[in-house]
Chains A and B, each alone.
Chain A
Amino acid sequence: MNFESYTIVLTGLGGQGLILLLQILGNALMNEGYKVITSETHGLSQRGGKVTCFLRFGKDQYAPIPLLASADMIIALEESCILDVLKYAKPDKSTNLIISTYEKHEFDTEYPPLEYILEILCENSENIHFIPVNEIAVKSTGNLKPMNIVVLGYTLRFLPIKKEVVENTIHDYFSGKKLEINLKAYKEGLNL
């Protein structure tokens, strides 16, 4: 794996905690000694709508938006959102796709059938990981919110970063009861 320049695309719906996930992971990678850049979009257009963020790290300062066909990892916190960003998957099918099984339906649009999603995913990658992160978060912490931190824990198996460094960074972002819950979620994700 090439850690001189590594690109993560993160997608989901507004309000799912994408930016926090991005912030903690980015900060931890910086603490590990990498040059990191993330991009975010805030504001109205994101509420309930699709959000796409990027995280890039390595030896140099990179642009906040990557090229198409260049992502090493794509994370989707809502299942159908993955379709929107598959343009970033590498043509050699090596991109890791990490996908939450959570489906957010809309009454006025048909939700893409699972067979359709699977077919397209297989066209684009040989490394597909479906995880029921919402259920895991609720089951392990009694709370849905730290679902993003479960995902954070899961991604570490692919990244050049020590789990203690991430754990210490989590301590910088939460305190009290929230810290306890998020550490639990993090460990749950690590051990999946």
Chain B
Amino acid sequence: MSYNKVVKGKIGDDKFFLGNEAIVRGALESGIDIYTYYPGTPSSEVGETFMEIFKEVGMKWVESSINEKVAIEVAGAAYARGATTMVGMKNVGLNVASDPLFALATTRPKNKNSAMVILVADDPQQHSSAVEMDSRYFLKIFKIPALEPSNPQECLEFTKEAFKISRELKLPVILRTVTMVSHARSNVVIGEIKPSEIEEKFDLSKEINVALRLYFLELKEEHIYSRLNKALEMSENSSLNTIQNENAKNQFNLGIITSGVSYGYVNEALKFLEFEAPILKLGFINPLPEKKIVEFLKRFKQIFVVEENDTFLETQILAIAQKNGLEVKIHGKDPFSYFKKKTLLSIVGELNPTKVVLALIKITNLKPKIDLRQIDKKNYDIMTRTPVLCAGCPHRTTGYALQKAIKKLKSKISKEIYFYQDIGCYTLLALPPWSFANVKYCMGSSIALAQGVAQTNDSLNIAIIGDGTFFHSGIPALLNGVYNKAPILILILDNGWIGMTGQQPHQGSDIRYYKEGIYKKSINLEEFLRGTGTNVNVIKHYDNYDESYSKKLKDLIYESGLDVLENGNLHVIVIKDECIQKSVKRQAPLIRYVDKEICNNCGLCYSQYGCSAITEREDIAYIDPNLCLGCGICEEICPNNAINREEL
């Protein structure tokens, strides 16, 4: 499917591409050899597409790496040896990758085809992220160039440009997108796919590839600043930094500076207000073209800066104006005000055309025909819907059993119990009816967080982590805990896949059930854990309808918890129950229904167990046949045996 879509086609064909697919096409048109990534919304489709096509298009290698740090390292050495490489991740992935990337950016490969583009997809509004992080400040730390496309067509073109810049400067280049660019779908005109030009002979001399004080300080000028200077020159002359509506005039002497997806919002806002203003659209966002910006600022009395999230552009534009002695009023988010209501635009949340219109009205006092402020205030919705685990999700059963086990533990011992959460669908166990969360940071942190309290307080501390996240960055924390004899209970919720981002495989996934599995060797999580010498219990609930599964799980958690408390032993429980989106249970032609005569509406199935397919209707429980996937847990837990099977 992906091959026909992304690879096939003639030069000049119109394709209906997701921004992420356009990035893949752009890389193919740049002769890419290697793509490494860790899945993360909104960047995942790039890796998935490459994974599907890489053998057929003759790329050297594609991998879904164990984490972003490893992804950068695998691609980094390939880059040093002369490969055209790309690495993909979401915004917070760059934090994980930042350690090797900082060193990598100081090296300077000698091989002709060395090029590296790093896709970093930010997520304003946190549609699918734990934090709303603006990755652009990293550009100043790494001292590397960056481009920001505004739509899928630009995703293709900017990717090609990024490879060109990287190949020329021998510096990694970041391609920064946001959700509304990576996940926009639009007409994209394609070019020609370029074959790889990788050479079998290469130079890996240590003087240029070893980030070490010996080489680094002496060569700082040459290795970092001279290349940045060249990048600045490129930015000044780049066609990606352009002035739109060059000759537009308005009575407010107002010009607009913007970049990325915000450019589209500015255009919509101007059209709605029937207002004209020149726009400096920045596509080359680091280093910024100072001269070009000065020339633009000189023409106006007022400038409006429109950008997603932080004031990355605005702060620099303020500095450029000051440095060049320009008296121009700069409107935007105001980097020195943190009062949301006082600024024209907020650093919190995603922009949209309406927000830009309202800000422009504040600057200009224009009165449009439709009062969007009034419409923005309308609120008819009285139905709140929090995100829920899928019907049939194994994490729900874990939550239910855990709840029962905790109740039993509390009745036996008078100690506090705390929960440490991680990044995955199971984070939703932090919400009612479970509320299993006291501390949560980032990928892989739960196991170490549990240790922090367990080592300083006499309580039961339980880490909840998924299998994908455990492989990503939970392993060092586990070893730390085993070594330090931390009295904690670790629940590894092993659903077999990286569930949250779309069931991508990880190092422990069953290689029989995904296409590229034929190139992989699955790591046996259980054996790995036993190798640490700690207490490991494994409970399996795959395709068997074990009618006492949730009770067995409860008992196991209870027994292990008790041993942690009474004897100070570290316990790991691996709960093997496959993600319902992948499981064969989903395919089983068997759903459940409520026997109206027997149900006494105790509410256990819909409120305590909280299955999203079950609600209360006409004073009894009702299973929505549109949603039930037939996992059968409700049948097991119903105290009145009111839930029956129905063949479809």
Contact = CB atoms under 8 A, between A and B. Distances in A.
Interface of A: 13-15, 22-23, 26-27, 30, 35-50, 61-69, 80, 83-84, 86-87, 91, 102, 104-112, 116, 120, 134, 144
B64 to A, nearest CB: 17
B261 interface: yes
B352 interface: yes
B321 to A, nearest CB: 28
Contacts of A69: 370, 372, 375
B595 to A, nearest CB: 19
Nearest to A14: B387
A111 B617 CA distance: 11
Q: Considering residues A13, A36, A41, A111, which has the most beta carbons from chain B within 10 angstroms of its beta carbon?
A: A41
Given A63-B265, A63-B268, A67-B354, A41 B16 contact: no
B593 to A, nearest CB: 15
Contacts of B603: 107
Given A39-B184, A68-B354, A62 B179 contact: no
Contacts of A42: 41-42, 44, 127-128, 183, 502
B357 to A, nearest CB: 7
A27 B188 CA distance: 11
Contacts of A134: 626
Q: Considering residues A42, A44, A47, A106, which has the most beta carbons from chain B within 10 angstroms of its beta carbon?
A: A44
A85 to B, nearest CB: 9
Q: Considering residues A62, A64, A80, which has the most beta carbons from chain B within 10 angstroms of its beta carbon?
A: A64
Nearest to B265: A63
Given A67-B268, A69-B370, A36 B187 contact: yes
A48 B617 contact: no
Contacts, number: 161
5 contacts: A40-B184, A46-B127, A47-B388, A49-B385, A63-B265
Given A35-B187, A39-B180, A44 B425 contact: yes
Interface residues of B, number: 63
B187 A48 contact: no
Contact of B378 (A35, A48, A87): A87
Interface string B121-163: 0000011100000000000000000000001110000000000
B617 A105 contact: yes
A40 B353 CA distance: 17
Contacts of A86: 378, 380
Contact of B16 (A30, A46, A84, A91): A30
A65 B380 contact: no
Nearest to A23: B185
Contacts of B502: 42
A68 B606 contact: no
B186 A49 contact: no
A111 B607 contact: no
A-B CB proximity, top 10 nearest: A43-B128, A63-B264, A43-B41, A48-B388, A49-B387, A105-B615, A27-B16, A37-B186, A83-B380, A64-B184
A67 B272 contact: yes
A69 B372 CA distance: 8
Given A44-B500, A62-B268, A106 B375 contact: no
Contact of A39 (B183, B272, B387): B183
B45 to A, nearest CB: 8
A134 to B, nearest CB: 7
A176 B637 CA distance: 39
Given A42-B128, A68-B354, A30 B14 contact: yes
Interface in B508-531: none
Contact of B186 (A38, A68, A107): A38
Given A46-B387, A144-B626, 20 more contacts: A23-B16, A37-B152, A37-B184, A37-B185, A41-B179, A42-B44, A44-B41, A44-B128, A44-B427, A45-B127, A63-B353, A64-B261, A67-B372, A68-B354, A68-B375, A69-B375, A84-B381, A107-B606, A107-B607, A120-B380
B612 interface: yes
Given A47-B389, A107-B607, A108-B607, A38 B185 contact: yes
A68 B370 CA distance: 10
B200 interface: no
Interface in B452-470: none
A171 to B, nearest CB: 13
